[in-house]
Amino acid sequence: MTTNLQNLFNPARVLLVGASDRVLFSAGIARYLLDHGFADRLTMVNASGRAVFDRPAFAGIAQAAGEGPFDLAIVVIPAPAIPDAIEELADIGCALVVVESAGFAETGPAGAALQQELVARAKKRGVRVLGPNCVGTVDTTTKFACVEVLEESLQPGGVALIAQSGIFGGILLDVAPHRGLRLSKTITMGNRADLDESDFLRFLADDPATRVVAMYLEGVADGRRFLDAVTCCAGRKPVVALKGGRTGAGAQAVGSHTASLAGSDDVFDGALRQAGGIRARSLEHLTDLALAFSVCSAPRGPRVAMVTTSGSQGILATDIITDHGLQLAQFAPETLAQVKKIAPSWMTLGNPLDLGPSGIYRDAIRIVLADPNVDALLLHIAIPWGAVRQDFTGRETIYGLLGDPDELRAAARRMPILISHIGHPNFTELVAEAFGEFLPIYPTAERAAFTLATMREF
Amino acid sequence: MTTNLQNLFNPARVLLVGASDRVLFSAGIARYLLDHGFADRLTMVNASGRAVFDRPAFAGIAQAAGEGPFDLAIVVIPAPAIPDAIEELADIGCALVVVESAGFAETGPAGAALQQELVARAKKRGVRVLGPNCVGTVDTTTKFACVEVLEESLQPGGVALIAQSGIFGGILLDVAPHRGLRLSKTITMGNRADLDESDFLRFLADDPATRVVAMYLEGVADGRRFLDAVTCCAGRKPVVALKGGRTGAGAQAVGSHTASLAGSDDVFDGALRQAGGIRARSLEHLTDLALAFSVCSAPRGPRVAMVTTSGSQGILATDIITDHGLQLAQFAPETLAQVKKIAPSWMTLGNPLDLGPSGIYRDAIRIVLADPNVDALLLHIAIPWGAVRQDFTGRETIYGLLGDPDELRAAARRMPILISHIGHPNFTELVAEAFGEFLPIYPTAERAAFTLATMREF
């Protein structure tokens, strides 16, 4: 039987096993599904058969059969009862199960044995399992989720997130909207007893909503399969991976977290790169890259134009791109000639183009974007808030300063533009309001520069 | 004549040359000083002798002599007129001048010649100069500033900031309060025609308000003096330096920014370390270190306890401390025995101590801090906001969760505790409200870990 993983994101009928309106975590799942249009698709089961949020619940899986067939079950009952539950689910024809409960291989030998039994029985009955020790999936298009998600995190976008840890996935969902990240789908895999990153990489390769796949892994379930899956996905869209457990001490910590074998870091790194994936160096680097790829293409060449209002930030970013194999573009003579025409006499012409308080930002950006020797633009805006706060009152002010989205998009001709802004949070917010939907914004010029340099690996 | 640099931070009489209520930048200085209790100490001069903010101004420096003697002048007139102004200031007995105007060595050969003349004439007359091409100083205790500063940036604290670039300094002032950084003094040096980082390092060594000196440099004016000055200051308090222009391309950009010679990066790095200074790797690293040193001591040993609600974050931080020469503490048996007594059965005991949703945070932290094998604590809090937002309404909630400041301070016995929080901004704000004044807070466990590891260099 081939499992349709699409059922993890848009099931026609879903069974919640362990439903409750009292147990915090379980109640969150039921409440979320009832509040987001899934009431008609949801059937609930719990040990007592007691109603949940005034909706009937069955006292057992078998008793719920009449409401099926179910193309997905979410299971949040205590770990020891789960192998039997898998059999019962198979009995009523449900072949895809998200096991969210913890208490398996991550807790030691007894838990590992229980997990083995879970896998063996699922396999025997043709049931595919996501988890255990996870919070399942979230889909921002269908709004289906196996966990309670805040409204603000449901804004659809191009970033698919694969995380091993449930908490980690939940936290990234909290952070994403405030970091400018708009998600397509989120998948947390926990102990990966069955379905793993390779399954989801292949699935996401074909997902039209996903423009970039960002992963946090603590190990790879099957090296050969992983290599093939990354190759398949990275041929279609960028795949960025952060791996925990690079070091000996880190790898040891991985064992008691998701019971993964962290494995040799060199082997992981080699396989990922060979397959066309990109290695993120930190959690911030992972989200910085996901943000860039969700709205920009990778630069077609190494020649970077830097336009900045702060000389220091331009210098720091120049150091970073130089460290990582990019270079400052040599502007065409006519570019500098055109800038010179509009520049005040104190301005030094060059790359980085340090505009200081000249106020010629909008025109200078347009001129630089037209230069044929430029493959990417790093734009750094830093103006003391005290100097501008009276005038800067809405996104239109920012458009007046730097150009509006249509103008910038046309001038960029598909060239990536990465903005960085350091300064007062009110200013940062204005910049995000003005450009957040179509340009990636970074908190320092160095982070933008590092992101751009890493994008070149794609 | 010995110059009292204290006059840059608390002058008895100050002369503003180039005062205006129309020119944006100059008007900001006058308005700031008038609004912050310096009206009685301030005399203003401009070419027309026109009143500024309804206060009289003199038409020339000589004419203002009767209001002197001035122990500080701030000069914001066009560059070509400045060498003469220096002489006139000397004539009326003013021996310390902040030159904020640009248009000197950073613009090319003609500007360099002008700067040389400025220095020669100042030297001949015994006048010391800060700048040109800077925004001077800010003192959060006296509230004196040579530039308009937002109220929120004036909250006093232990971080002294030395920056070369004026914009950079201004931006850091904007960012500081929102990053938890409380400043003692800020000094921007611009082209450093005369007074330089070495003068200020020696001055700040003796400044009781300053607990840590954070610098952004684009080069060092005099290598030997710098080494001696860092040695002097770092013997008293941590000195952290970020240098722009590490790479060839970056060094070239430095020339047209502050006309510094970036010099060999290896030489700078060697001298800084030999003198006991700490090299920051990025702007974020610089502020992360300044934040930690302003409220914590460096760890006395390499043994780190990690307490986390997210296994992944603990693993990522473990990788970072291992990369940088720290290690996970081996908890004493009684520590784990005590945690075991209060821990739910699913919790794995170890270091990192992954508390998951156990809720035993407060007690577990207290137990871990009492362990004699621990030199520092990295505490990572990540809880999906949806799960707690109804209960988390004020700082008391956070104290209930993790312990209150008195309790934590007593338990820490001067051991550094670095907190990281990743999650919803409302949650982050609560954590900052609860602990921002006495514990450094970081946006990821990796940043906290890297900061702690670098602190060990002190």
Least confident of A257-261, A376-380, B131-135, B300-304: A257-261
What average pLDDT does the segment B161-181 reach? 85
Spatial CA neighbour of B339 closest among B307, B309, B367, B376: B367
| Preferred mutation among B268, B315, B323, B328 to probe A, highest tally of A CBs within 10 A | B315
Q: Within the 332-351 window of chain B, which residues sit less than 8 Å (CB to CB) from chain A?
A: 346, 348, 350
pLDDT at position B256 is 74
Model confidence at A196, pLDDT cuts 50, 70, 90, reads: very high
Tell me the sheet residues that pair with B335.
none
Q: Is the pLDDT of residue B88 over 60?
A: yes
Both structure tokens of A154: 């449901």
Query: First CA to last CA across chain A, in angstroms?
Result: 35
Residues B355-391: tens digit of each pLDDT: 988 889 999 999 999 999 999 999 999 888 887 888 8
Q: CB burial class (10 A; 0-12, 13-18, 19+) of residue A34?
A: middle
Q: Which chain B residues are within 8 Å of A385, Cβ to Cβ?
A: 150, 174
In chain A, % of residues over pLDDT 90: 80
Spatial CA neighbour of A268 closest among A245, A292, A236, A302: A245
Q: Which chain B residues are within 8 Å of A174, Cβ to Cβ?
A: 384-386, 423-424, 427
Does the beta-carbon distance from A167 to B102 stay under 8 Å? no
What average pLDDT does the segment A389-408 reach? 90
Tell me the sheet residues that pair with B138.
B145, B186
pLDDT at position B262 is 67
Does the beta-carbon distance from B245 to A350 stay under 8 Å? no
Q: Is the pLDDT of residue A402 over 60?
A: yes
What average pLDDT does the segment B156-163 reach? 96
Is B249 an 8 Å CB contact of chain A? yes
Q: Is the pLDDT of residue A1 over 70?
A: no
Q: Which chain B residues are within 8 Å of A246, Cβ to Cβ?
A: 319, 323
Q: Please enumerate in sequence order all residues whose Cβ is within 8 A of that of A155, keeping only pairs 6 or more positions apart, or say none.
A: A140, A177, A182, A183
What average pLDDT does the segment B53-79 reach? 96
Q: Which chain B residues are within 8 Å of A384, Cβ to Cβ?
A: 147-148, 167, 170-171, 173-174
Distances (CA, A) of B138 to B33, B146, B149, B190: 11, 6, 8, 15
pLDDT at position A86 is 98
Residues A332-376: tens digit of each pLDDT: 999 999 999 999 987 889 999 999 888 899 999 999 999 999 999
Q: Distance (Å) from the C-alpha of residue A451 to the closest C-alpha of chain B?
A: 14
Q: Distance (Å) from the C-alpha of residue B301 to the closest C-alpha of chain A?
A: 18
Instruction: Return the residue matching tokens 């058969």.
Output: A49
In chain B, % of residues over pLDDT 70: 99
Both structure tokens of B5: 């640099």
pTM score: 0.95
Model confidence at B222, pLDDT cuts 50, 70, 90, reads: confident
Both structure tokens of A374: 């430029």
What average pLDDT does the segment B296-300 reach? 95
Model confidence at A200, pLDDT cuts 50, 70, 90, reads: very high
3-state secondary structure (DSSP) of residue A408: helix
Residues B314-325: tens digit of each pLDDT: 999 999 999 999
Q: Which chain B residues are within 8 Å of A281, Cβ to Cβ?
A: none
Tell me the sheet residues that pair with A327.
A303
Both structure tokens of B26: 């100059």
Rg over CA atoms, chain A: 25
Q: What is the ipTM of this complex?
A: 0.93
Least confident of A120-124, B79-83, B346-350: B346-350
Q: Please enumerate in sequence order all residues whose Cβ is within 8 A of that of A241, keeping only pairs 6 or more positions apart, or say none.
A: A214, A215, A216, A217, A272, A277, A278, A279, A280, A286
Is B20 in contact with B42 (CB distance < 8 Å)? no
Residue of A nearest to B262 (CA): A315
Q: CA–CA separation, B212 vs B233, rounded Å?
A: 9
Instruction: Return the residue matching tokens 């199960």.
Output: A97
Distances (CA, A) of A417 to A27, A159, A238, A299, A435: 44, 18, 17, 9, 11
Q: CA–CA separation, A221 vs A260, rounded Å?
A: 8
The closest CB to that of A174, out of B168, B354, B424, belongs to: B424
Q: Please enumerate in sequence order all residues whose Cβ is within 8 A of that of B19, keeping only pairs 6 or more positions apart, or say none.
A: B26, B29, B30, B44, B45, B46, B52, B57, B76
Q: Please enumerate in sequence order all residues whose Cβ is within 8 A of that of A98, keeping only pairs 6 or more positions apart, or say none.
A: A8, A72, A73, A74, A75, A129, A130, A131, A134, A136, A137, A146
In chain B, % of residues over pLDDT 90: 80
Q: Within the 142-171 window of chain B, which residues sit less than 8 Å (CB to CB) from chain A?
A: 147-150, 163-165, 167-168, 170-171
Distances (CA, A) of A5 to A96, A128, A133, B315: 8, 10, 19, 29
What average pLDDT does the segment B312-341 reach? 96
Provide the pairing of β-strand A303-308 with A353-354. Answer: parallel
Q: Is the pLDDT of residue A32 over 60?
A: yes
Give the amino acid at B234.
A
Tell me how far the alpha carbon of residue A402 is from its chain's centroid.
28
Model confidence at B1, pLDDT cuts 50, 70, 90, reads: very low
Residue B215's H or E segment, with its range, is strand B212-217
Q: CA–CA separation, A25 vs B67, rounded Å?
A: 72
Q: Is the pLDDT of residue B127 over 80?
A: yes
Spatial CA neighbour of B160 closest among B174, B173, B179: B173
Provide the pairing of β-strand A156-163 with A183-188. Answer: parallel
Q: Which chain A residues are within 8 Å of B386, Cβ to Cβ?
A: 28, 148-150, 170, 174
Q: CA–CA separation, B115 vs B102, rounded Å?
A: 10
Residue of A nearest to B287 (CA): A444
Tell me the sheet residues that pair with A215.
A162, A241
Q: Is the pLDDT of residue A140 over 50?
A: yes
Strands of the B212-217 sheet, one edge to the other: B137-139, B183-188, B156-163, B212-217, B239-243, B278-279
Instruction: Return the residue matching tokens 């708009």.
Output: A182
Q: CA–CA separation, B59 vs B99, rounded Å?
A: 19
pLDDT at position A254 is 86
Q: Is the pLDDT of residue A2 over 60?
A: no
Does the beta-carbon distance from B316 to A254 stay under 8 Å? no
Q: Is the pLDDT of residue B237 over 70?
A: yes
Q: Distance (Å) from the C-alpha of residue B169 to the closest C-alpha of chain A?
A: 9
Q: How many CA atoms lie within 13 A of B3 on its CB side?
A: 26
Counting one residue from chain A and one from chain B, the pairs whose CB atoms sit within 8 A come to 237
